[in-house]
């Protein structure tokens, strides 16, 4: 799963190229940098990799979502639909934009349920954010169809599925915009970092201006003389991150994804021998990043019993049902409407009136699926562990 496993000579030499010129900022210092523009080069390479016209590097995956929402003009008074099983950042970005998150169930892909999406679209819906969770595809054609019927833009949160594809096309490149995370545990890592991709030039320009204090990036004048079309913020990526990104992108397909696929296949073989186990539905197994291996037991009790043995053997699986960062039901700050502001915003208006309230146990389908699901994170280097994991699986099978 994490690109940090393979940090090596390529990353070191990329970083040294930056350090030797002492230019850490992505803009300006043209003479001093001697033609070295790492963030720009990473953006170009990433857009080519994804087959899109534009890529904008930003400081995190959360920033990427926030920038995409700003570019699409999403703000107070709007609703944005996402799913109840995602990292909490998807919701944070919507709330930070001043919009209200509306949630859908996930289906057996563990991504947005397109059927439930239809139920959740209202006159206030301004955008839809399906999340390609845990390394594999959401049902993006169905989601795009429902969105197009209502003329709504789709932002694909691809933070967990960098390098994934659907019928050969890069995840993140289907909707109006796609967002990525390169944080410390991601498949491609720059320590912290993110990317926004789009084919739409106008959206790219708005995103680029918003992420850099509104700078209009006029090539005719120096940075200090640039003008602003609107208020922005600073979500810039810096040169060291761009350098790391270039090195990691060079290894994404042939090293990272190739090893993960092989490792996942070997572990899956052991699980497939157990009758009671079924696997997460992956719409296009060819395009899976193989970052996670997710399987279902027939009941929550059996999932827990199986996992107890796995844990005893040193290979406890992730049980998302009780995870406090990725599952709506366990977000106590959200359910409690807790804000750092005395006014209670974004849960309340400055007048004290409720803007949005969230209750536990409102996603029965998601709850049922997650209660039976176990997840084995897949690493790039697992040769020594795999025989041990296979043995642990055989042992765990006797407990169900
Ligand atoms: C689905 C999803 N969206 C967004 C993010 C946020 O990315 P970052 O940690 O780079 O802010 C993450 C991070 O784990 C994620 O998993």
Domain ranges of the chain: 3-251, 255-326+363-397
Annotate 45-108 with DSSP letters as a single string.
HHHHHHT-SEEEEES-HHHHHHHHHHHTT--TT-EEEEESBS-THHHHHHHHTT-EEEEE-B-T
Q: 62: CA distance to ligand 1 center in Å?
A: 6
Q: Averaged over 219-241, what is the pLDDT?
A: 97
The answer for residues whose C-beta is within 8 angstroms of residue 19's C-beta and 6 or more apart is 240
List residues bridging with 179 in a β-sheet: 157, 196
SS3 call for 194: strand
Give the CA-trace dihedral at 328, 372, 154, 88, to 10 degrees. 30
Task: Find the residues whose C-beta lies inside 6 A of ligand 1.
Answer: 60-62, 86-87, 89-90, 131, 157, 159-160, 181, 183, 194
62 φ, ψ to 5°?
A: -65, -45
Q: 181: CA distance to ligand 1 center in Å?
A: 6
Give the tens place of pLDDT for each residue, 56-99. 999 999 999 999 999 999 999 999 999 999 999 999 999 999 99
List of E strands, the chain: 54-58, 79-83, 100-104, 125-128, 155-157, 165-166, 169-170, 177-181, 194-198, 278-279, 292-296, 373-377
Q: Averaged over 7-32, what is the pLDDT?
A: 97
Per the CB < 8 A criterion, the answer to whether 97 and 124 are in contact is no
| Residue 316 per-residue DSSP state | P
Which CATH code fits 255-326+363-397?
A: 3.90.1150.10
Ligand 1 mutation pick, 63, 67, 160, 188, max ligand atoms within 8 A of CB: 160
- For β-strands 79-83 and 100-104, DSSP reports them as parallel
- pLDDT at site 2: 87
Residue nearest to atom 8 of ligand 1 (CA): 61
- pLDDT at site 1: 65
Which of 126, 165, 186, 264 is catalytic? The answer is 186
Active site residue 186: yes
**Predicted model pTM:** 0.98
Ligand 1 mutation pick, 88, 89, 241, max ligand atoms within 8 A of CB: 89
Give the tens place of pLDDT for each residue, 50-68. 999 999 999 999 999 999 9
Class of domain 3-251: alpha beta
């Amino acid at each position: 799963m994490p690109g940090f496993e393979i940090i090596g000579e390529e990353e070191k030499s990329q970083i040294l190229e930056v350090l030797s010129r002492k230019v850490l900022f992505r803009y300006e210092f043209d003479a001093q940098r001697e033609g070295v523009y790492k963030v720009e080069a990473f953006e170009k390479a990433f857009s080519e990799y994804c087959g899109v016209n534009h890529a904008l590097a930003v400081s995190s995956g959360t920033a990427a979502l926030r920038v995409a929402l700003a570019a699409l003009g999403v703000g107070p008074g709007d609703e944005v639909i996402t799913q109840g099983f995602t990292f909490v950042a998807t919701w944070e970005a919507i709330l930070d934009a001043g919009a209200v998150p509306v949630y859908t169930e996930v289906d057996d892909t563990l991504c947005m349920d397109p059927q439930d999406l239809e139920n959740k679209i209202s006159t206030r819906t301004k955008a839809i954010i399906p999340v390609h969770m845990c390394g594999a595809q959401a049902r993006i054609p169905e989601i795009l169809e429902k969105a197009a019927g209502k003329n709504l833009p789709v932002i694909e949160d691809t933070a967990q599925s960098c390098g994934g594809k659907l019928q050969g096309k890069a995840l993140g490149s289907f909707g109006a915009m796609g967002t990525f995370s390169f944080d410390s545990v991601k498949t491609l890592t720059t320590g912290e970092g993110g990317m926004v991709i789009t084919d739409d030039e106008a959206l790219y320009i708005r995103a680029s201006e918003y992420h850099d204090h509104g700078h209009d990036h006029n090539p005719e004048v120096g940075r200090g003389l640039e003008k602003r079309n609107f208020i922005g913020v600073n979500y810039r990526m810096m040169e060291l991150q761009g350098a790391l990104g270039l090195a990691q992108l060079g290894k994404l397909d042939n090293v990272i994804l190739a090893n993960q696929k092989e490792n996942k296949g070997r572990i899956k073989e052991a699980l497939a021998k157990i009758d009671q186990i079924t696997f997460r539905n992956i719409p296009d197994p060819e395009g899976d990043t193989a970052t996670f291996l997710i399987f279902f037991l027939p009941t929550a009790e059996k999932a827990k019993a199986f996992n107890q043995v796995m844990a005893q053997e040193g290979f406890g699986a992730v049980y998302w049902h009780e995870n406090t960062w990725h599952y709506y039901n366990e977000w106590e700050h959200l359910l409690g409407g807790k804000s750092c502001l005395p006014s209670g915003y974004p849960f309340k208006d400055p007048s004290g009136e409720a803007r949005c309230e969230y209750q536990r146990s409102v996603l029965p389908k998601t709850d049922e699926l997650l209660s039976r699901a176990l997840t084995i994170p897949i690493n790039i280097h697992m040769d020594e562990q795999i025989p041990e994991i296979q043995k642990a699986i055989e042992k765990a099978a006797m407990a169900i």
